[in-house]
Amino acid sequence: GAVVSQHPSWVICKSGTSVKIECRSLDFQATTMFWYRQFPKQSLMLMATSNEGSKATYEQGVEKDKFLINHASLTLSTLTVTSAHPEDSSFYICSAILQGVYGYTFGSGTRLTVV
């Protein structure tokens, strides 16, 4: 079945540094990937839609200069949290849709802690 690999699964970084999270579709091509953020005891909040070869579409209230998304190939999308601050600490999850399939496949998530 369709598998999405997300790396790293957890990361701790110092305030002010940048962190890159990778999302790969392992056995299919994903022209569209999605990035979500999940706060403790809350639902998933869609941050942006990543489209291969074009600029990402950000949801209202999401800082595009802070959360840089690159989707340079059909199998890889990256989310870079720039100049991270403690309030950016969260669980980030990517997902991809396999063309012709109605559901979404999710990565295993990345726990980001900014100290």
Partner 1 sequence: AQSVAQPEDQVNVAEGNPLTVKCTYSVSGNPYLFWYVQYPNRGLQFLLKYITGDNLVKGSYGFEAEFNKSQTSFHLKKPSALVSDSALYFCAVRGSGGYQKVTFGTGTKLQVIP
Amino acid at 89: S
Which of these ranges, 14-22, 41-49, 63-71, 78-86, lies near partner 1 under the rule CB under 8 A? 41-49
Identify the CA nearest to 50 among candidates 36, 30, 71. 71
- CA 25 from chain centre, in angstroms, equals 12
Binding to partner 1 by residue 93, rule CB under 8 A? yes
Instruction: Report how far apart, in Å, the C-alpha atoms of 22 and of each of 46, 102, 113 are.
Output: 17, 23, 16
Q: Which of residues 1-20 bind partner 1 (CB under 8 A)?
A: 6, 9-10
Identify the CA nearest to 33 among candidates 19, 18, 54. 54
Which of these ranges, 11-19, 67-75, 82-90, 104-112, lies near partner 1 under the rule CB under 8 A? 104-112
Distance separating alpha carbons of residues 115 and 48, to the nearest angstrom: 25
Which residue among 78, 84, 105, 114 contacts partner 1 (CB under 8 A)?
Answer: 105
Q: Which is nearer to partner 1, 54 or 102 (CB)?
A: 102
Residues that bind partner 1 (CB under 8 A): 6, 9-10, 32, 34, 42-44, 46, 49, 91, 93, 95, 97, 102-109, 111
